[in-house]
Structure 1
Amino acid sequence: MDDNELYPIGDVARRTGLSVSAIRYYSDAGVIAPTGVTEAGYRLYDVRAIARLELIRTLRDLDATLDDIRQMIDGETSLHDLLATHLELVERQERDLRARRAVLRTLVKQGGTAAQVTLMHKLVSMPDEERERLVDDFWNEVGEDLDVPPGFVERLRTMRPSLPEDPTAAQLEAWIELADLLRGEEFRGAVRSYLRDTYGTFPGRRMAAAPVWDFIHEEGAKVGEEIVEAYRSGLPAASPRAQELVVRMANASAEAVGGQATAESRERLATAFLLVEEIQREDSHEEARYDATHGRYLSLVAVINGTPPAGDEEGPELFAWIAAALRASAR
């Protein structure tokens, strides 16, 4: 293509993919002027005008307005600034569409009503401050005069949802479900009842005490990961490595409550693990109750925060393995 050659509007239309009427429209609107005109009044364009028309088509495809394009061509706005502005617009539209998708998917699953449409749109567009207030109201009601160890509800309260600035559809759907649950009296009552029954009496009450709870979720969690890894590897419970791990766990557990582990205490701990194994094998009701109450809260919070918890795939077999390793270490 010759830089100095002038091309009729039909050729320009074929080169740019614009219609002849669109090129005339941009010319009449003052966005791009023809380079020349024939004696018969036909418009002519050089390669620079064709390049600008191709850019105009691209920008229009990105929903840039004629005023935006005119300002850029006139030098009032740089191409970079124009593109940055429209990138921000497209990203905002993408977030809005993602939110709508989450609402629609939830409504389709639930067979939603008109009232639910309004509610779910409100939940998705809820400001951060209102989300925080909803979570605080939930824990305030759940924890009011709850007969559990001091500070326990406050520790549970720290595990809360934090919806990111640019959430995925899955995070939005999880937030919709959680927010709907948090607002419901039935869910609040069910969580309160579960926590009272589980952590208001022995042995849960002892587990909920600050030293033991901190051990379970800090030092105990570290050695627990090693124990799970050893179990998954097929290591025999009576092996020296398995005994070393459970002894470390027993020692750290005893230190957390100001005691010292002995062979007798490891035997008692083994009995406790076997009791937990038996409960897990025979009492599916409590597991289902957890999954429907506090467990559901925690799983949704994990999805919203982008940190889904690892599933407990081992089940009661792991507790039996730990008990066997503890008894081997106590001999």
Structure 2
Amino acid sequence: MNEDDTRYTIGDLSRRTGLPVKTIRFYADEGIVPETGRTPSGYRVYDVEAVARLDLVRTLRELGVDLPTIRRVLAREATLTEVAASHAQALDVQIRTLRLRRAVLGTVAARGATHQEMDLMHKIARMSDTERKRMIEDFVDSAFGDLDANPELVELVRAATPDLPEDATAEQVEAWIELAELTQDPDFRTSVRRMAEYQAAERADGDTSGLHQDLTALVRERIAGAIADGVDPESPAADPIIAELAAQYATTFGKPDDPALRAWLWRRLEVAADPRVERYWRLLAAVNRWPEPESLGPVFEWFQRALRVRMGRLEGLERLERLERLEG
């Protein structure tokens, strides 16, 4: 007798496949792996084709394919290729869902969040691409919508929307959750609105200039160098740096290089000093897998301190001059 004529009992199949007898009997009763015949004693037996069929069923079940789909494959109503493709897509959705859940739970654990906060984070994480973009648009409209602020900046913020990919990592999802929460923070919205109002007021006074990336690069280069060299912003060693930068600002904005310019410059930096703005761009970069932006916080903090102390010195000199005139 050749192998094709061999008959296997349920016990044989169980030992061969590792499946429980109860499971094999269920498949037989459901017609998924029908028996080939019965022994004189009434026991079910199966041929080689049934064994191969059972091996296929076992493999598909281990891959998560449901029984109705397996029936279609066995009945040749669907090909293995079609089933594999559809289930691979379904698994992609499940994997993304699990990533989202993991990110939310990790954030909840790290923050010690409440039930309400967890519910909000879960809703934020599950937002569609359209909903994410709409949230950012709403944030931009609330800050700049009715103001004539710097158009280049407004366009930059409006165009830089979060694009959370289907295969987002837990870190990307966590960054998106924090970014979304930040855009909904009333205090942060007020702060950004204040910056926009300041820009609009500047434009109303005739300042229609753009972002001045070259000027920002010069500030970063000079002050980063000073920080690296250990130059105290309040020391005389910082004087030539401030003088150079003030002169460049005066030229760029068409203003006199005088004490009023330094006061104007300090005010400009003070309005933009909210560290959450930098955090906004870092989170957006993390979501979109952009290069991490360079931090300018220490640079502008140094610049502010240097300007503040020199403004104080000028005020002191002015008071001394007034006193000398009165005494004279």
Normalised by the size of structure 1, how large is the TM-score? 0.67
- Find out whether 1:52 has 2:53 as its counterpart: yes
Answer whether contact 1:159 1:298 (CA < 8 A) is retained.
no
> How far apart, CA to CA, are the structure 1 residues paired with 2:243 and 2:48?
85
- Find out whether 1:300 has 2:301 as its counterpart: no
How much does 1:173 deviate?
Answer: 1.1
User: Highest Rg: 1 or 2?
Assistant: 2
> How far apart, CA to CA, are the structure 1 residues paired with 2:26 and 2:159?
60
1:271 maps to which of 244, 248, 268: 244
How much does 1:300 deviate?
Answer: 0.8
**CA shift digits 1:10-50 (9 cap, x unpaired):** 12111111111111110011101122321111222222211
RMSD of equivalent CA atoms: 4.2
- Find out whether 1:209 has 2:209 as its counterpart: yes
Answer whether contact 2:195 2:272 (CA < 8 A) is retained.
no
1:251 corresponds in structure 2 to none
- Find out whether 1:23 has 2:24 as its counterpart: yes
Normalised by the size of structure 2, how large is the TM-score? 0.67
How much does 1:133 deviate?
Answer: 1.9
- Describe the shift of the 1:148–1:288 C-alpha distance in structure 2 as closer, same or farther (beyond 3 A): closer
> How far apart, CA to CA, are the structure 1 residues paired with 2:16 and 2:285?
53
Q: How does 1:181-330 map to 2 (within 5 A)?
A: 181-194=182-195, 209-210=209-210, 213=211, 216=213, 271-272=244-245, 289-292=273-276, 294-311=277-294
Answer whether contact 1:149 1:200 (CA < 8 A) is retained.
no
Q: Secondary structure at 1:34's aligned position in 2?
A: coil
Q: Secondary structure at 1:3's aligned position in 2?
A: helix
**CA shift digits 1:137-178 (9 cap, x unpaired):** 111111245574454323332222222233222111111111
How much does 1:70 deviate?
Answer: 1.4
Q: Secondary structure at 1:44's aligned position in 2?
A: strand
> How far apart, CA to CA, are the structure 2 residues paired with 1:122 and 1:79?
36
Q: Gaps spanning 5+ residues in structure 1: where?
A: 233-266, 277-284, 320-331
- Find out whether 1:112 has 2:113 as its counterpart: yes
- Describe the shift of the 1:8–1:144 C-alpha distance in structure 2 as closer, same or farther (beyond 3 A): closer
> How far apart, CA to CA, are the structure 1 residues paired with 2:180 and 2:62?
38
Q: Secondary structure at 1:58's aligned position in 2?
A: helix
Higher relative contact order (CA 8 A, sep 6+): 1
- Describe the shift of the 1:270–1:166 C-alpha distance in structure 2 as closer, same or farther (beyond 3 A): farther
Answer whether contact 2:144 2:196 (CA < 8 A) is retained.
no
- Describe the shift of the 1:151–1:50 C-alpha distance in structure 2 as closer, same or farther (beyond 3 A): same
Q: Secondary structure at 2:45's aligned position in 1?
A: strand
- Describe the shift of the 1:195–1:145 C-alpha distance in structure 2 as closer, same or farther (beyond 3 A): same
**What amino acid is aligned across from residue 291 of structure 1 in structure 2?**
P
How much does 1:199 deviate?
Answer: 9.5
- Describe the shift of the 1:23–1:308 C-alpha distance in structure 2 as closer, same or farther (beyond 3 A): same
How much does 1:271 deviate?
Answer: 1.6
> How far apart, CA to CA, are the structure 2 residues paired with 1:312 and 1:112?
29
1:236 corresponds in structure 2 to none
1:281 corresponds in structure 2 to none
Q: Gaps spanning 5+ residues in structure 2: where?
A: 226-239, 250-268, 303-328
> How far apart, CA to CA, are the structure 2 residues paired with 1:89 and 1:71?
18
